[in-house]
Amino acid sequence: MSPWLAWWYRWILRGTRILSISRGEQEFLSHALGASVPVDYLPFGVDERFWQPGGQGDDGYVLSIGNDPSRDYATLVAAWQPEDPPLRIVTSLPVPGAPANVEIIRGDWRTQILSDEEIRHLYQRARFVVLPIRETLQPSGQSACLQAMACGKAVVFSDIQGLWDRQLMVHGDTLLLTRPGDPTDLRRAIDSLLASPVLVKRLGQNARRVVGEHLNVTMMAAQLAAYAETRLGIQS
């Protein structure tokens, strides 16, 4: 952010507080805006009572999902091999060059082409989930990642600047992180999951645990209420 733009934001936002749902974004804004515009972190959460594991086993496919412009399906397709299991990509975005073992399912949350129940079923029956994201400061892919994790799925996610909480989103523990836009690194992570059902299970269990303990709507609502009371003087 240029000094002039930072000054303009400080002027226009004077007297306000900012809540960010990404620690990376919080740190960037705090540095850019300075002490005159306080920026706090609110952990984003999903409904872990709805997004939950469903039964045993899977249907053999790998899932990717999402419509925001930061999705990088070109890198995913470049990393996917003809001998790999079926890959299902749920999106309304173009997916150029998809090989025969990649199925495009046209879906858009805003128009409810697929219901939440149908999306949950896709998560639950997937072998694991891959969410390739272009480099961005915004927490792109956050909802899809946490929904998959809440469903007890191992997730491969891009190590973007906007990764919302590096204390909880830990490579090799709660998910696998890969360099954005790097099909070779993405391939390495995919291979590790294809080769190790034990790793898939462990990551899925840890993912479900971290959502249940930290990144769910109940905790998000409680922390938002506490913030409103302590910072803004609003009684819940």
Cβ atoms of 154 and 204 closer than 8 Å: yes
Q: Rg (Cα) of the chain, in Å, rounded?
A: 19
Cα dihedral 94, 75, 59, 86 sign: positive
* Residue 150 to residue 177: CA distance in whole angstroms: 17
In this predicted model, what pLDDT tens digit does every residue of 96-155 receive, in sequence order? Answer: 898 999 999 986 655 557 889 999 999 999 999 999 999 999 999 999 999 999 999 999
Cα distance from N-terminal residue to C-terminal residue, the chain = 36
Say what the pTM is. 0.89
Helix (H, G, I), strand (E, B) or coil at 39: strand
Provide φ and ψ at 205, rounded to 5°.
Answer: -65, -45
Q: In what order do the strands lie in the sheet with 102-105?
A: 102-105, 87-90, 62-65, 129-131, 155-158, 176-178
Fold that domain 62-213 belongs to in CATH:
Rossmann fold (3.40.50)
Block residue for tokens 């879906």: 107
For CATH 3.40.50.2000, list the domain ranges present in the chain: 62-213
Helix (H, G, I), strand (E, B) or coil at 23: helix
Specify burial of residue 177 (Cβ count, 10 A radius: 0-12, 13-18, 19+): buried
- What amino acid occupies position 212? G
In this predicted model, what pLDDT tens digit does every residue of 174-232 receive, in sequence order? Answer: 999 999 999 999 999 999 999 999 999 999 999 999 999 999 999 999 988 887 777 66
